[in-house]
Amino acid sequence: MSDALCWQSAGTLAAAVRRGERSAVEVLEAHLDRARAVEPRLGAFVRLCEERARRAAEEIDRRVAGGEDPGPLAGVPLGVKDNLCVRGVETTAASRILSGYLPPYTATAVARLEAAGAVVLGKLNLDEFAMGSSTETSAYGPTRNPWDPERVPGGSSGGSAASVAAGEVPLSLGSDTGGSIRQPAALCGCVGVKPTYGLVSRYGLIAFASSLDQVGPLARTCADAALALDALVGPDPRDATSASPPWDPAARPFAAAVAAASLEGRTLGVVPEYLERTADPEVRTAVEKALGAAERAGARLREVSLRSADEAIPAYQIVSTAEASSNLARYDGVRFGRRCAAPKDLEDLYARTRGEGFGREVKRRIVLGTFVLSSGFYEAYYLRGQDARRRVRADLLAALDDVDALVGPTSPVPAFRLGERLDDPLAMYSVDVFSVSANLAGLPALSLPCGFTAAGLPVGLQLTGRPFADPDLLALGRGLEEALALPKRRPLP
């Protein structure tokens, strides 16, 4: 019985709690039981905040008993990637350098979901500072893929995807700088949305590359992701890059779009360069089958070429590492988190705190980013990277002129084995080939499940849309879910 609660949608759970048919405490306890049962095999959470969650759930139940409506996410258990600050709850971005850091404020994205009634169950594992594609660079050790624990869940939001796929929470928050919401969603078989740049506040998100970072939801269905997005989007005076969309966020545009979803008469742009670069034939087959199902449901397919396809990864590497080297300069042993023992002088304090506190991948990015920004190399690398970024954006916007969304695989490969790519950075970076463009261009993109390989590994389909077409992108996702009608499967019994 209690396990069955863990496979209900966020929408169903919230409706039952709002009507007083289920208590938020009962919903919470069922999910905590499930987490205790699977965490030893999964490692999705870096910490649970049980006491805080119980207090929040009890408060929701009190409000329902008092005739109040706690909101559209009433009692919905929520997992939060550990690079989003929650006041008074240790937040580390999976880095030793932030161990013990207690944020004095809560990220806007978390606060908005809590204000809608969600209950934070705990903090989720990630690649250190969200740098990676496998959740293996975490200082806490890796998270495992719920469909095959010998494989990675993807990254960097591996904990966010694995926890949702394994039924520990119906909803989680992740961050996406170059694919970190969509790629783990694809590898774990759930839905992940990277909104248009600026649509969701970055306040309280530990910065990786500020011009690319976006916060977004992961869920098991597009309807649940839409429920979260209606609570998340909208301008925030605390984030100067937060944007006002050309529609009214208060009108719940995501729920409305998903409710009216249809593929009839919609045009999807199929990018041949993406299919050609899909290394795994089973991924390609699953995506082609999904395109067929979309056509049968009334969608038109049109081939659109992206000439910038090979520029995206180099542009992303230059821009993201440059911004990371600047953002990570603040971890100096003076202001945040951990400090080395017995420093001799200030220089020694900086060097040893950073030397001991950062892992290999983070150091590699800081060195690369410092190099591309250094005088003498700035023009040759950083400025050329920015030029390439502009070409990628122009290319994508032109391709989107004649179609409602671009469609293709989210990742060229399904979940790979733990350790397989860890010592080969270029092999690790290559799995981002289809995801980084949306960040470079600031466009909305989502991944949804579109099938399984013969070995039972999920395959993800990516949709990319025009700026602020986010509600319509969710509607297209919902339409594809209906057209595909995938059988419900559950990992980790």
CB of residue 14 to ligand GLN, shortest distance in Å: 29
| Rounded Cα gap, residues 206 and 132, in angstroms | 15
- Scanning residues 45 to 64, which ones bind ligand GLN (CB under 6 A)? none
Which x/- pattern over 382-421 shows residues binding ligand GLN (rule: CB under 6 A)? ----------------------------------------
Counting contacts by CB under 6 A, is residue 359 touching ligand GLN?
Answer: no
Which residue in the block uniquely carries the two structure tokens 């509607």? 475
The interface region with ligand GLN, picked from 130-138, 184-192, 220-228, 391-399 by CB under 6 A, is 130-138
Nearer to ligand GLN, 133 or 410 (CB): 133
Contact map string, positions 191 to 230, toward ligand GLN, x by CB under 6 A: -----------------x----------------------
Our CB check for ligand GLN shows the closer of 61 and 239 to be: 239
Q: Which is nearer to ligand GLN, 184 or 449 (CB)?
A: 184
Q: What is the Cα–Cα distance from 12 to 16, expressed in whole angstroms?
A: 6
How many residues lie near ligand GLN (CB under 6 A)? 13
From residue 175, alpha-carbon distances to 128, 201, 208, 326, 365 in Å are 13, 11, 10, 19, 18
Please give the helix or strand (H or E) that residue 471 lies within, else none: helix 470-484
Is 156 annotated as catalytic? yes
Neighbours of 481 (CB within 10 A): 19
Rule CB under 6 A: is residue 133 a binding residue for ligand GLN?
A: yes
138, 156, 163, 320: the active-site residue: 156
Instruction: Please identify which of the residues 23, 95, 138, 180 carries the catalytic annotation.
Output: 180
Residue 92 backbone dihedrals phi, psi, to 5 degrees: -125, -10
Q: Confirm whether 180 is a catalytic residue.
A: yes
Q: Which CB sits closer to ligand GLN, 34 or 389? A: 389
Amino acid at 354: R
Residue 71: helix, strand or coil by DSSP?
coil
Select from 125, 156, 201, 437 the one that contacts ligand GLN (CB under 6 A): 156
Q: Quick check: is 95 catalytic? A: no
Alpha carbon 416 to chain centroid, angstroms: 18
Cβ at position 151, least distance to ligand GLN in Å: 16
Tokens of 428: 């690790």
Nearer to ligand GLN, 132 or 253 (CB): 132
Query: Exposed (0-12), middle (13-18) or buried (19+): which is 355, by Cβ within 10 Å?
Result: exposed
Q: How many Å apart are CA 225 and CA 228, to the nearest integer? A: 5
When CB distances to ligand GLN are compared, the closest residue is 180
Binding ligand GLN (rule: CB under 6 A), the pick from 177, 201, 325, 411 is 177
Scanning 39-47, 101-109, 172-180, 387-395 for contacts with ligand GLN by CB under 6 A, the matching segment is: 172-180
Binding ligand GLN by CB under 6 A: which of 82, 176, 224, 481? 176
The DSSP line for 271-325 is -HHHHHT---HHHHHHHHHHHHHHHHTT-EEEE---TTGGGHHHHHHHHHHHHHH
**AA identity, residue 166:** A
Does residue 369 contact residue 385 with C-beta atoms inside 8 Å?
no
Closest C-alpha among 239, 240, 236, 106 to residue 173? 106
If one asks whether residue 160 binds ligand GLN (CB under 6 A), the answer comes out as no
Identity of the residue, 129 or 147, whose beta carbon is nearer to ligand GLN in the bound complex: 129
Torsion, CA 169, CA 205, CA 474, CA 168, rounded to 10: -10
Nearer to ligand GLN, 98 or 227 (CB): 98
With binding defined as CB under 6 A, does residue 179 bind ligand GLN? yes
Which residues form the interface with ligand GLN (CB under 6 A)?
130-133, 156, 176-180, 208, 320, 432
Kindly list the catalytic residues: 81, 156, 180
